[in-house]
Structure 1
Amino acid sequence: MAYDGTVLKAVIEELKNNLINSKVEKIYQPSKEELIFNFRGNKGRYKLLISAASNSPRVYFTDVSYENPTIPPAFCMLLRKHLENSRVLDIKQYKMDRIFKIDFLSKSELGDLINKSLVVEIMGKHSNIILIETDTNNIYDSIKRVNSFTSRIREILPGLTYSASLISTKYNPLDPEIFEEAINNFDKNKTLKNNLINTFTGISPLISREVTYRANLDDDRIFSSLNDEEYILFIQALKSLINQLKNNEFSPILIKSDAKIIEFSSLDLQMFPQAEKISYDSISALLDDYYSHKEKSQALNEKSNSLKRIVKNHLDRTVKKLEKQSEELNEAIDREKFKIYGDLISSNSYKIEKGIKSIELENFYDNMKIISIPLDEKLSAQQNANKYYKKYSKLKNAVGILNNEIDVNKNKVNYLNSVLLNIELSDSISDLEDIRDELVDMGYLKKQGRNKRQKNKKVTFLEYNSSEGYKIYAGKNNRQNEELTLKFARKSDMWFHVKDAPGSHVILKEDGRDFSMKSIKEAAIIAAFNSSLKNSNNIEVDYTLKKNVKRHPAKMPGLVSYINYETIVISDKDLLNLQSNKEVVN
């Protein structure tokens, strides 16, 4: 998904229609590389976001509220000094590239009228926002200063002269006078896609694919392989799209596939089915929705990945500890051999000389069979015997302790695996904050500063309707699972959980009717889907009346014990039915 020249052209047209002659009311800099301009004009008030962030540089009208720092950054103060209360004269895009400038009429410190321009370059990691004097192109300053160490092509520093020509060397597709020259400069040995992208400004891979689609050609076709008829179709398709841009015939669309946004464009792209398109009246509204969703998803992923790393580290350590304890338990169970070693050494101490590493003796506990016993060569015979007696005694006492510790660590492993699943099921920052609070309470994380979250806030479960009208609820994390099972559910409700694996607690609410197998299966499908086994086939799900479910003795969040249960098997086909909403509607 690219914020290309065609998208910027639609944004520029929208800005021109609404901002010309409007005044700058206030300027904010909510983050290191983002600016917010508040405008007031005859057509109302507008909030313009301009971002030079390397991962998502962009510009558009926004309705999103941003938190501003208490002390404005230096560049923000500079812009306030030069541009607040100034009037917008014009907004121009450079050669349909991802470069544009807003011309302002402002006053100098002496009250003289002076033209100033804000230049915005949307160029990935090289994106920048630059304040210049319009007539001289003299640079006042920029949101990112670029010196000779940063770029060998061009410096952006106060006092230097600004020029876009060094970074925008391609042909302007909207200039009819150079169109033929641009086509003649196509590399015959390169594909149509590469030629379009490398020759014209503002053309992204998405737009190049649209051009070749309209011409009924593959965008990977080598240019020289086109016959005369194909060449004509290609040129016609390219000119048709260019005319749409010239005439500002914009139809902003989001493209969704399998509920995921895969593309956006300022043009109605013919290569996508109509069913996958979501239309917008405004390109800014589209971009505001898209980037707001993207930022939330990025924040969610970052927080999710951070919690996953913490939980996995604790899980790995607990698993290693459990493996070591299991080895020690096996040795403890096999402790009798150390008593035998001690007895045999004591009985034959007169035969054993100090300094040997092992000795073979007759085992009077096993029909006088020969047994080899390791010895510490630094110890005498009796000292070796005492060493084995001491080890035997220690292991005898260790069995009970190890069994308890193994049970505790097994519960910890089950708990941490359930937390990993909960993180996967989380679809909001609030869900992840609940999990973080739980990890703090369990001692896996340190408490953060003075941040206090509302402990008794309302819990919202996943809610489904069965095909027969029953209500079905599922928890998304351990806190919700506990609330759902131990507080929300009645004794007569049916409880579900995937067998021997992390998963959500699921409740099928009793409403006076006897539970049918159809509704039981639908609830079991939800339990299977919201579990760590969701990608498996033939998933076993246990179910029982809620009255048979108790809090687990380990008192770990979300862990319960249950009796008098039955098991139903859920296939991958059943899960597909849920995802396509054929069985149960969310």
Structure 2
Amino acid sequence: MIDALTARALGAELQGTIAGGRVQTIYFIAPQVIGMEVYANHKRSYLLLSAEPQRARALLVTEKLRSAAVALTPFLLLLKKYLSGAFLNRVRVIARERILHFEFDQREQGISTLVVELLGNRANLILLDAGGNILDALQRIPSTNTRARAILPRAKYFPPPPQPKADPLNLSDAQLRALLEKSPGDTLAERLVSTIAGTSPLFARELAFRVTRSTNSAYDAAFVPMLYEQLARVWNSPAAPSIAFENAQPGAVAAFTLTHLPNAESIPSMSAALEKFFGAEESYEAVKVPLREQIAAALKKMERVRASLQRELVSSEEIETLKLKGEMILGYQYEIIPGQTELHAPVSEESTLDIALDPKLSPVENANKYFDEYKRARDAMARVPERLAVVENDIAYAEQILNDLDLAESRVEIEQALEEARAAKLIRAAPIRSGGRAAHAHERQFMSPDGFQILVGRNARQNDALTFERAKAEDIWLHARGYAGSHVVILTNGAAVPQTTLEFAASLAAYYSRARTDGAVDVIYTPRRNVHRVRGAGAHPGLVTVREEKVLRVRPLAHENEKAD
């Protein structure tokens, strides 16, 4: 994920390479990804801007971009109107933030600014007029009681409110010491993240390693002088882009030299590093679309099978009625005249049984028809529930894989979802070419406001491992009720869990589920001991049964304090 140092490096690189150039072509690559061909310094450069959640990025790519079949929204049409043929005056970065401003000047429309907010799940592209008013945005966001900043046409643009953290370039040694002394967190890296603006978990671990030779060292005031020196050195030096590899796959990217990770190498530019890390110019969303369509088609087919099985199910009373109709026809066969279409057979003093007859059949043939229906219904009652349970589990698993695919944040995670879909015979797609054996991403990790570690599964198999291998019996397990989604576990270490931590974890369970766009979601929670794997036919990784659960209703939230792997 891009951090403030990466954004700063990008701003410097883009200002030095394409500022002053002219926009020749605009490309619409995916619903949340655009590109531009910019002619500057006597050559064509290709700028890619993505607001995809968790993969937001801005970079120059090496290959020519191409548009895809993307629905043209009002925002995309405005981009074409204001930026086609425009000159890129300058690229500016908001200090210690992940926000870039691209200022354009076009003959017909004049000055406009494209704001690229590389803010993870809140990433956005926003087009402003010369007065700083919003023309439109990729993601329109209304103002609410909990969100003061509105991103809507004609509203005044305001950047996200700054976090209450110290600016590393306006900080003395003594001030740094005082801030870290008061900061929450056990390790030096945790205190740096919560205290110093623009410090990502990756950068914090790098600083801790440079000072203590360990990424998990506890805070000690004796570290502050060297820490202050290293912090100032990175911020005051030119970018040194690098990538660390794990199992031949890019595992981390940074604008500074990665000394705390093995298999790290220097990369000539920030754009080259990001292109190597994220893959080729084709966006992950573009890769996901055909996979999603195949899984959705398989899901619809299974839903039709479920509906067919449900139609075969009849109650025991209805089954016995079929048998009774056959018996009554035989009992009254000598009273039935040829061509009769209905028999009214008394079954008690108060009621009669109305039995439809086929006028082309004899009484015995009509009776046998009902006996055959009775046998089929009786056999269905014996076999259909088990088949229906298998199909229900298959549908739940397909929905889980769709959720895994939607939330995949790297090519490794897309490949894992792809493997699961192929194993479940949902798709027949070739693997994504990744240049080596795919590494398995670790679960998402968060720290609650009360200091409890929270783990969130990234896919079905990881959900299974997290719940039944990593979590202990007394840990708290959470899941969005009635939706496919991540298993979420609060590691309690035997301590009572405060309500604030429960609500924090529940909001994560809601966000990392198929209900993430709903205004409010019911989330169940219970001690892990009350969660059990689904067994038998139709069992799949991550499918569970739960007992003694309680329910919290929360808003889905993607918290920014995720701890990097």
Q: TM-score, normalised by structure 1?
A: 0.52
State the match for 1:386 in structure 2: 368
SS in 1 for 2:497: coil
Q: Identify the match of residue 303 of structure 2 among 312, 319, 327.
A: 319
Alignment partners' CA distance in 1, 2:278 and 2:306: 41
Distance 1:455 1:560 in 2: 30
Question: 1: CA distance between counterparts of 2:380 and 2:295?
Answer: 29
Cα distance, 1:313 vs structure 2:
1.4
Taking only the aligned residue pairs, the percentage that are identical comes to 20
- Distance 1:349-1:366 versus aligned 2 partners, 3 A rule: same
How is 1:417-436 mapped onto 2 (pairs within 5 angstroms)? 417-436=399-418
Is 1:569 matched up with 2:533? no
Counterpart position of 1:338: 322
Which residue of 500, 521, 528 maps to 2:482? 500
Relative to 1, partners in 2 of residues 1:465 and 1:552: Cα closer, same or farther, differing over 3 Å? same
What does the per-residue CA deviation read over 1:202-240, in whole Å, with 9 as the maximum and x for residues that have no partner? 459999996699xxxxx88xxxxxxxxxxxxx9xxx8xx
Query: Pick from 501, 516, 520: which aligns with 1:519?
Result: 501
Does residue 1:441 correspond to 2:396, yes or no?
A: no
CA contact (8 A) 2:521 2:553 kept: yes
Indicate how the Cα distance of structure 1 residues 367 and 325 shifts in structure 2: closer, same or farther if over 3 A, else same. Answer: farther
Alpha-carbon distance between aligned partners in 1 of 2:271 and 2:39, rounded to the nearest angstrom: 7
What code does the residue aligned with 1:260 have? Answer: A
Give 2:37's aligned residue. 58
Change (3 A) 1:520 1:301: same
Alpha carbons of 1:194 and 1:445: their partners in 2 closer, same or farther (altered >3 Å)? closer
The residue number in structure 1 matching 2:342 is 359
1:304 aligns with one of 280, 288, 304: 288
Q: Residue 526 and residue 381 in structure 1: after superposition, are their counterparts in 2 closer, same or farther (change >3 A)?
A: same
Cα distance in 1 for partners of 2:482, 2:504 equals 20
> By how many angstroms is 1:414 displaced?
1.8
Higher radius of gyration, 1 or 2: 1
Give the letter aligned to residue 308 of structure 1: R
Task: Pick the aligned partner of 1:262 from 125, 138, 149.
Answer: 125
2:334 matches 1:350:
yes
1:73 corresponds to: none
Q: Distance in 1 between matches of 2:432 and 2:456?
A: 32
Q: How far did 1:52 drift? A: 12
1:335 CA drift (Å): 1.9
Once the two structures are superposed, what CA deviation does each residue of 1:86-140 show, in whole Å capped at 9, x if it has no partner? xxxxx758xxxx89xxxxxxxxxxxxxxxxxxxxxx9988xxxxxxxxxxxxxxx
- Give the equivalent residue in structure 1 for 2:512: 530
Quick one: structure 1 residues 569 and 194, their matched pair in 2 at CA, closer, same or farther if it must change by over 3 Å?
Answer: closer
Distance 1:484 1:471 in 2: 13
Instruction: Identify the match of residue 385 of structure 2 among 390, 397, 403.
Output: 403
Contact in 2 for aligned 1:332/1:398 (Cα 8 Å)? no
Q: Aligned partners of 2:19, 2:385: CA distance in 1, in Å?
A: 73
Q: C-alpha distance in 2, partners of 1:548/1:194?
A: 55
Residues 60 and 482 of structure 1: is their aligned pair in 2 closer, same or farther, counting only changes over 3 Å? farther
Q: Residues 382-404 of structure 1, C-alpha deviation per residue, up to 9 Å, x if partnerless?
A: 11111111211221222121121
Q: Aligned in 2, Cα 1:369/1:287: closer, same or farther, shift over 3 Å?
A: same
Distance in 2 separating the partners of 1:197 and 1:396: 69
Say yes or no: does 1:463 pair with 2:435: no
Alpha-carbon distance change, 260 to 293 in structure 1, aligned in 2, over 3 angstroms: farther
| Contact 2:400/2:484 (8 A) holds in 1 | yes
CA drift of 1:463 comes to: 0.7
Deviation at 1:292, TM superposition (A): 7.7
Distance in 2, Cα, partners of 1:390 & 1:482: 45
Relative to structure 1, the CA distance from residue 324 to residue 205 in structure 2 (aligned partners, 3 Å threshold; closer, same or farther) is: farther
Q: Matches of 2:38 and 2:103 in 1, distance apart?
A: 24
Q: 1:560 — aligned with what? A: 544
Check the 8 A contact 1:538/1:569 in 2, yes or no. Answer: no
Paired with 1:286 and 1:269, the residues of 2 have a C-alpha distance of 29
Query: Does structure 2 conserve the Cα–Cα contact (< 8 Å) formed by 1:196 and 1:208?
Result: no
1:477-492 residue pairs with structure 2 within 5 A?
A: 477-492=459-474
Q: How does 1:132-151 map to 2 (within 5 A)?
A: none
Given that 1:497 and 1:504 are in contact with CA atoms closer than 8 Å, whether structure 2 keeps it comes out as yes
Contact 1:210 1:269 in 2 (8 A): no
8 Å CA contact 2:322–2:371 kept in 1: the answer is yes
Q: Determine the C-alpha separation between the residues in 2 that align with 1:405 and 1:536.
A: 32
Aligned twin of 2:492: 510
1:471–1:52: structure 2 CA closer, same or farther, 3 Å change rule?
A: closer
The match for 1:547 among 515, 529, 537 is 529
CA distance in 2, matches of 1:305, 1:564: 39
Report if the CA contact (8 A) 1:342-1:388 is conserved.
Answer: yes
Tell me how far apart the structure 2 counterparts of residues 530 and 123 of structure 1 sit (CA, whole Å): 31
3-state SS, counterpart of residue 334 of structure 1: helix
| SS of match in other structure, 2:478 | strand
> Secondary structure of 1:335's match?
helix
Distance 1:347 1:196, change over 3 A: closer
Q: Tell me, yes or no, if the aligned pair for 2:19 and 2:89 is still in contact at 8 Å.
A: no
**Conservation of the 8 A alpha-carbon contact between 2:479 and 2:524:** yes
Gaps spanning 5+ residues in structure 1: where? Answer: 1-6, 16-49, 62-90, 100-121, 126-192, 214-218, 221-233, 242-251
Match in the other structure for 1:416: 398
| Letter aligned with residue 303 of structure 1 | V
| 1: CA distance, partners of 2:517 / 2:82 | 42
Unaligned runs of 5+ in 2: 1-12, 30-34, 46-63, 68-78, 91-100, 134-156, 163-197, 199-236, 240-267
Which amino acid is the alignment partner of residue 417 of structure 1? Answer: E
Q: Contact conserved, 1:501 with 1:531, CA < 8 A, in 2?
A: yes
Q: What is the distance in 2 between the residues matched to 1:327 and 1:520?
A: 41
Q: Secondary structure at the match of 1:487?
A: helix
Letter in 2 for 1:549: V
Shift of 1:520: 2.5
Count of residue pairs the alignment pairs up: 378
1:281 CA displacement: 9.2
Aligned counterparts of 1:12 and 1:563: Cα–Cα separation in 2: 59
Report the Cα distance in structure 2 between the residues aligned to 1:518 and 1:537, rounded to whole angstroms: 19
State the 1:471 CA deviation: 1.0
Letter in 2 for 1:390: D
The separation in 2 between residues aligned to 1:471 and 1:451, in whole angstroms, is 35
How far residue 431 of structure 1 moved from its aligned partner, in angstroms, is 0.9
Does the aligned pair in 2 maintain the 1:465–1:471 contact within 8 Å? yes
Instruction: Give the CA deviation at 1:430.
Output: 1.2
* Distance in 1 of aligned mates of 2:432 and 2:117: 41
- Which has the bigger relative contact order, CA under 8 A and spacing at least 6? 2
Q: Report how far residue 317 of structure 1 moved.
A: 1.5
**Cα offset, 1:274, TM superposition:** 9.1
1:325/1:406 contact within 8 Å kept: yes
Query: CA separation in 1, counterparts of 2:402 and 2:520?
Result: 22
CA–CA distance in structure 1, aligned partners of residues 159 and 369 of structure 2: 79
Q: What is the letter of the counterpart of residue 306 of structure 1?
A: P
Q: CA distance change for structure 1 residues 537 and 428 in 2, over 3 Å: closer, same or farther?
A: same
1: distance between equivalents of 2:420 and 2:293?
16
Instruction: Tell me the TM-score normalised to structure 2 length.
Output: 0.54
